[in-house]
């Protein structure tokens, strides 16, 4: 396995003196009114190029089953165990990024959906954003049960939440959402790339994201940067590369298909050799446009850190979330893995 560690890896930039607090640039909340036509539109129809095969969407295929089994098997660990994680600061960094994304796009009274919600790790973030309602769904039923329990055990929950298990990229889920409600915001964190196993799955995912999203509403998320991965793959002699906490292994590198380019991903203390798929972001932007989504924002994690760590609000959050170690940094390997990811936001056209 080739190492991706580099002696020239730039350290995390030192935090400069705090500038003046920037203005609040949150987007205006979309209209909360729901027309009869919108309510009628809640009944699902197959996505483009998929008519006549609705039953096919209801089947969880073998790869999806492997992913579900993987996340179902991940144990729920206590706080003391989490603090011992070899990627503690990377996990906290990822949570810091998600906190920023949610804070920038969520507003009080919103109805949000957490697509691929896992064990409900973002519940506190949603609560702090002041939303009114949340729907969470995930392919791993054990994770969904844990998310539901986490919500019930939360003290002073100020928003309503419902959870259900479903293959968000293999079946249409619109009929599982509360009737008479349109979504203000959809979030999909570290999971959208699973939909790029096939074009059909990507289209099902986009249908689930946009079918009940209000015009002017936002779709936010985080994904691996395919360009980062492909560059590493092309620069290694074999099919795998990594460092002390990360291993990525491909099955071939002769062709680079738009869909179905499979690799195996292992991140110590997080993901155990799970099948994933390259998501070519330009291809996704083009496909998303067919569903009324226009790209509003994208940024790599390293660049996002350099910018947002100068914002006093998010700078303070770095400390509160224990993102950095006592030396004000994190391990070189954790920081390098952080560079694998990017954040994005799409807006649904009016």
Instruction: Look up residue 329 and give its DSSP letter.
Output: S
Number of C-beta neighbours around residue 305 at 10 A: 23
Q: b vs e for 320-336, b when ≥16 Cβ sit within 10 Å of the residue's Cβ?
A: ebebbeeeebbbbbbbb
Give φ, ψ of 45 to 5 degrees.
Answer: -130, 155
Residue 138 is assigned to a ligand binding site: yes
Residue 98 is assigned to a ligand binding site: yes
Please check whether residue 242 is in contact with residue 336, taking contact to mean a CB–CB distance below 8 angstroms. Answer: no
Residue 157 is assigned to a ligand binding site: no
The residue ranges of DSSP E strands in the chain, in sequence order, are 2-3, 111-115, 133-138, 160-165, 183-189, 213-224, 240-242, 246-250, 262-267, 271-277, 293-300, 341-348
Please check whether residue 193 is in contact with residue 315, taking contact to mean a CB–CB distance below 8 angstroms. Answer: no
58: left (phi over 0), alpha (psi -120 to 50) or beta: alpha
Provide the β-strand partners of residue 344.
221, 298
Interatomic CA distance for residues 84 and 81, integer angstroms: 5
Residue 232 is assigned to a ligand binding site: no
Interatomic CA distance for residues 271 and 194, integer angstroms: 14
Residue 116 is assigned to a ligand binding site: yes
Rounded to 10 degrees, the C-alpha dihedral 338/222/112/137 comes to -100
Question: For the chain, how far is it from start to end, CA to CA, in angstroms?
Answer: 49
Smallest Cα–Cα separation from 111: which of 162, 157, 153, 154? 162
Smallest Cα–Cα separation from 188: which of 219, 214, 217, 213? 219
User: What are 94's two structure tokens?
Assistant: 């990822």
Smallest Cα–Cα separation from 234: which of 220, 214, 250? 250
Residues in the annotated binding site:
94-95, 98, 116, 138, 167, 189, 194
Residues in the annotated binding site for mRNA:
94-95
Residues in the annotated binding site for S-adenosyl-L-methionine:
98, 116, 138, 167, 189, 194
């Amino acid at each position: 396995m080739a190492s991706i560690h580099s002696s020239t890896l730039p350290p995390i930039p030192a935090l400069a003196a705090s500038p003046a607090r920037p203005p609040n640039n949150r987007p205006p909340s979309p209209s909360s009114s729901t027309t009869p036509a919108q309510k009628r539109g809640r009944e699902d129809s197959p996505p483009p190029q998929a008519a006549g095969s609705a039953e096919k969407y209801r089947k969880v295929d073998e790869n999806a089953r492997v992913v579900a089994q993987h996340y179902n098997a991940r144990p729920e660990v206590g706080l003391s165990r989490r603090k011992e994680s070899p990627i503690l600061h990377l996990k906290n960094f990822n949570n810091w990024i998600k906190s920023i994304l949610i804070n920038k796009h969520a507003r009080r009274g919103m109805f949000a959906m957490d697509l691929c919600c896992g064990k409900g790790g973002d519940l506190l973030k949603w609560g702090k954003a002041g939303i009114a309602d949340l729907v969470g769904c995930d392919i791993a039923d054990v994770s969904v049960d844990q998310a539901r329990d986490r919500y019930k055990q939360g003290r002073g929950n100020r928003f309503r939440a419902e959870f259900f298990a479903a293959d968000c990229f293999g079946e249409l889920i619109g009929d599982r959402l509360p009737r008479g409600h349109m979504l203000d915001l959809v979030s999909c964190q570290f999971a959208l790339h699973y939909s790029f196993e096939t074009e059909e799955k990507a289209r099902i995912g986009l249908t689930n994201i946009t079918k009940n999203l209000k015009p002017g509403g936002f779709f936010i998320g985080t994904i691996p940067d395919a360009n980062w991965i492909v560059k590493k793959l092309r620069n290694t002699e074999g099919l795998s590369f990594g460092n002390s906490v990360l291993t990525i292994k491909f099955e071939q590198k002769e062709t680079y298909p738009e869909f179905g380019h499979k690799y195996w991903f292992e991140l110590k203390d997080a993901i155990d050799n799970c099948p994933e798929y390259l998501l070519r972001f330009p291809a996704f932007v083009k496909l998303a446009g067919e569903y009324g989504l226009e790209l509003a924002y994208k940024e790599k994690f390293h660049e996002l850190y350099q910018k947002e760590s100068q914002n006093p609000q998010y700078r303070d959050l770095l400390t509160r979330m224990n993102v950095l170690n006592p030396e004000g940094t994190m391990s070189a390997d954790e920081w390098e893995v952080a560079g694998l990811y990017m954040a994005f936001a799409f807006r649904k056209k009016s």
